[in-house]
Amino acid sequence: MSVTRRGVLNTLQGLAVLGLASKTGLLEAAAQSTELFAKGESFSDDYVLELARARAKKPFVEEKITLPPGLENLTYDQYRDIRFIPDKSIWKGQPHGFSFDLFHSGFYYTSPVDIFVVTDGEQAKLNYVPDLFTFGPLVQRPKGDVDLHYAGFRLRYPINSKDYNDEFCVFQGASYFRAIGKGHLYGLSARGLAIATGQPNGEEFPFFRSFWIRTPTPDAVSVVVWALLDSPSATGAYRFTIKPGAATQMDVEMTIFPRRDLEHVGIAPLTSMFLFDAMNHSAFDDYRPAVCDSDGLMMLTGAGEYLWRPLANPKTLQVSAFVDNSPGGFGLIQRKRRYGDFLDLEAKYEKRPSLWVEPIGDWGQGAVELYEIPSQREINDNIAAFWQPKQRPAKDGSASFVYRLYWCDEWPTDRKDFKAMARFSGGGLNFDQKQRLYVIDFEGGSLTGNIVADVTASQGTISNVVTQPNPQNGGVRLSFEVDVGSAEMSEFRAVLKRGQDKVSETWLYRWTKS
């Protein structure tokens, strides 16, 4: 389940005319640059949908790129020595401000990926052109006429400064993609689909076989990407409308066509890393107070309750399911936003984005599932979260979902009526060393008046529940002790109330015997 990707997913002035939003402009440019662009054909909004539907009726065929000598079996450092030439970014210099670079195949990326540019209802495939890349001393430039595929692409737009086209979104590897907003560094990832996560026979990783990138109009503030997903168990058609900004937004429209009944399927899957923080720092001999891309799972239930579940790095695989009906949203959040939270001058984890999933339409019954996987290294992604629908997609049928992704600092970003947020401050044994002590600081929202805490445990006994004003953050500090007895696991739940009204999000935590 752990996926190593740290740094791997971390650039054509002469072909800038290809950004012209006209059929004639595209075809003329293609004629002048036949090395790059194949002959165009028509494209419509349902083109990818019908491709996915037709492909699902045929057996899955796995394909791999045959790399020439000098490019097969590349190491990480060798792969990094192949670089896209920034001045050759497609659409560079066009009024809309968008451009994109291509990734070379090799290293982990040996599945063929076809990339097309769509302009005025015409699509043109990007052929492999080695002159788009520099090949450093660690690798050999392909010799002769080789027909390779690309491995993905990165989108650019001036989100931090009007004078520079920052990369803000990457599609590369299986069905992985990730994005950032203003001031962020790449962190967690999303995927198109999760199949059989955590199952004994192993997880299946669907992959995006083809992409279609639409040329933006001169005044566009977003870019549209279609993608064809494929795997032994299903095909899928995706449409991404991507709007960069302070919080980069993606509207995702997806339809999957199962080749078999999907008993374990994840919709809007998220992948992140959590190694340690104050809760489990003693397990790591490390000068840094915390190491994580995300520090908690947040969920807005269909009933309007916000849940906050701090992440953990357990001794054994832990799976949690938060059952709900028509959820309001969920996401993996990074709440630690100060340099002092990490003290890491290179990784700068405080600049990693949070990722919030907002369902559009009624998703019905199901559960947000959280997977926490033991890990000893920060290069491994060990956290996964997704929506598991109660009604499983069936063979020869289809299932559609629409949702919006926010790559942001924290969620919600601008709600004045948001309830107080819980931030875990510490834990350990109590004064007489017999019971577990937990301390949580709540801040924000309205915490005036007679505030009381409702604290429960699925196993064990809660005692010494204390709430007191916290002048350091203007909020409330909650502390309590737990005697878990002989239990192997216990689920804790805490929320602040004024009378019968909840005035904070609900803090959840799973304790497991070490």
pLDDT tens digits, the chain, 514 residues: what are they?
Answer: 443 434 333 322 222 323 333 333 333 333 334 357 777 789 999 999 999 999 999 999 999 999 998 899 999 999 999 999 999 999 999 999 999 999 999 999 999 999 999 999 999 999 999 999 999 999 999 987 888 999 999 999 999 999 899 999 999 999 999 999 999 999 999 999 999 999 999 999 999 999 999 999 999 999 999 999 999 999 999 999 999 999 999 999 999 999 999 999 999 999 999 999 988 888 999 999 999 999 999 999 999 999 999 999 999 999 999 999 999 999 999 999 999 999 999 999 999 999 999 999 999 999 999 999 999 999 999 999 999 999 999 999 999 999 999 999 988 766 555 567 777 766 666 666 678 889 999 888 888 888 999 999 999 999 999 999 989 888 899 999 999 989 999 999 999 999 999 999 999 999 988 7
- Listed residue (384, 391, 394, 404) closest to 254, CA to CA: 404
> pTM for the full model?
0.91
Are 478 and 453 a contacting pair, CB within 8 Å? Answer: yes
Q: Would you give the DSSP letter of residue 32?
A: H
- Check residue 303 and give its pLDDT: 96
The 3-class SS string of 278-336 reads CCCHHHCCCCCCCEECCCEEEEECCCCCEEEEECCCCCCCEEEEEEEECCCEEEEECCC
- Check residue 13 and give its pLDDT: 28
- Cα separation, 456 vs 454, in Å, equals 7
- Listed residue (489, 421, 442, 492) closest to 463, CA to CA: 492
- Check residue 420 and give its pLDDT: 73
- Cα separation, 460 vs 451, in Å, equals 24
| Domains of the chain, each with CATH number or no CATH | 3-408 (2.70.98.10), 421-512 (2.60.40.10)
- Check residue 29 and give its pLDDT: 37
- Check residue 474 and give its pLDDT: 85
Strand partners, 463: 481
- Check residue 52 and give its pLDDT: 98
Task: List phi, psi (to 5°) of 92.
Answer: -55, 135
Q: Checking DSSP bridges between strand 114-119 and strand 207-214, what pairing results, if any?
A: parallel
Are 189 and 177 a contacting pair, CB within 8 Å? Answer: yes
Strand partners, 134: 83
Question: Which amino acid is present at 441?
Answer: D
